Amino acid sequence: MPFRHPDRSADLVTRIEAEVRERLEEAVDYVCLEALVQRRRAHGLPAPAADNPGDRREYTEHVRAFLALLERELTPDLDAEQRRRLAGTAAVGGDEADRLTSLQVALARRLPDYWQRFETTSARYLADPAVPGSGGESRGGLLGRLFGRG
């Protein structure tokens, strides 16, 4: 599949990073929207609406909770060298969701079984799509575009 980013002047590492980030954001969007819809169905609530600030906030809470769960699930087994390499990722600017997304991109690029572990964690998350307790800022992606944030 050819690289679809409009700026083709970037070096290969940057292009790979952008592709991994795009795939990760789409996967997280899918999991979090599915969790939101499942929860709504289970409680007899209406489907989420793009123009509803409460729905956007609840979706964003799912994104932060899921990214935090991925961090908890995927980082304990890292060796000292892997932790050292990821330390720079945690220092990037932006909000917490940006930091968590950058960490997942780095993990996806370094762990050979990342996507299998992502799928296992997402299945567990979807088995109990409770409303996360924390708020947060959006980071774009497919639902960001649907909700007019990207």
Position 9 confidence tier, pLDDT thresholds 50, 70, 90: low
What percent of the chain has a predicted confidence (pLDDT) above 90? Answer: 47
pLDDT higher than 70, residue 62: yes
Q: How many CA atoms lie within 13 A of 133 on its CB side?
A: 0
Nearest Cα to 47, choosing from 57, 37, 56, 34?
37
* pLDDT at residue 119 tops 80: yes
Mean pLDDT, residues 77-81: 87
- The rounded distance, in Å, linking the Cα atoms of 144 and 57 is 11
Q: What is the pLDDT of residue 92?
A: 58
